[in-house]
Amino acid sequence: MNLYDELYAAWRREIGNAELSGLPSDFYVRIADYLHRLSEERRMLDKKTVKAALLEHEEEHVRRMVEELIWARYKKLVKLVTESGKVPEDLLSAEETQVFEGFVPFAVAYQQFAKGLLQGQITRTEVETPHKRVTLRFVKPVPAIIGGDMKAYGPFMVEDVASVPVENARLLVKQGLAVLVEVS
């Protein structure tokens, strides 16, 4: 199945059902790449050719389906979170999972606020945002760091394995200081 057909199938499932459908974790990355390739290919062609017109038409359809898919999923996810306080992570793409990590504590805190207000009470609550952690194996020595959760981590020696906040892990991996450990 080509990517256009996969997008069309996902769009139809999402628009045609009241329930949230599953998406592959890399779905949006592949769609973004697809849109980029369409745009680049169209840019390289003479605008008066039939192929350029067809690519423009395809790009418009893809953009419209993606926009409708995103908003349909957004509405369903907000409804799920406000009703149950949970996000069905197995149905989300990687990007959606990341976005909704911060939304769930907000929704829960807001529901508590509304409940208290209706009972004639205002309580000041602090919402603690959980910092997701991942496991890394260090390939170079790293001095102690302060994590995104404001806790100290390290120092780390070569071949040390440690669990650190995602924000820090991304930087450490990007700088070539550590590699992600896949846990199965």
Enclosing domain of residue 139? 133-180
Q: What is the pLDDT of residues 78-122, one digit of tens each?
A: 888 777 767 777 888 878 877 776 676 777 777 777 777 777 777
CATH number for the domain harbouring residue 74: 1.20.58.1030
Angle at 139 between CA 138 and CA 140, to 5 degrees: 95
- Rounded to the nearest integer, the mean pLDDT of the chain is 84
Q: Are residues 101 and 31 in the same domain?
A: yes
HSE, side-chain direction, 13 A CA sphere, residue 103: 18
d(CA 136, CA 181): 5
Angle at 113 between CA 150 and CA 116, to 5 degrees: 135
Exposed e or buried b per residue across 23-55, where buried means at least 16 C-beta atoms within 10 angstroms of its C-beta: beeebbeebeebeeebeeebeeeeeeeeebeeb
Q: Are residues 113 and 154 in the same domain?
A: no
- Say if 125 falls within a structural domain: no
Paired with 152 in beta bridges are 146
Q: Are residues 80 and 10 in the same domain?
A: yes
Q: Are residues 109 and 151 in the same domain?
A: no
What value does the mean pLDDT take over residues 66-86?
84
Count other C-beta atoms under 10 Å from residue 164's C-beta.
26
Q: Are residues 56 and 88 in the same domain?
A: yes
Q: What is the pLDDT of residues 111-156, one digit of tens each?
A: 777 777 777 777 665 545 566 888 999 999 999 888 888 888 989 9
Domain count, the chain: 2
Q: Are residues 26 and 108 in the same domain?
A: yes
Sequence-distant (≥ 6) Cβ neighbours of residue 115 within 8 angstroms: none
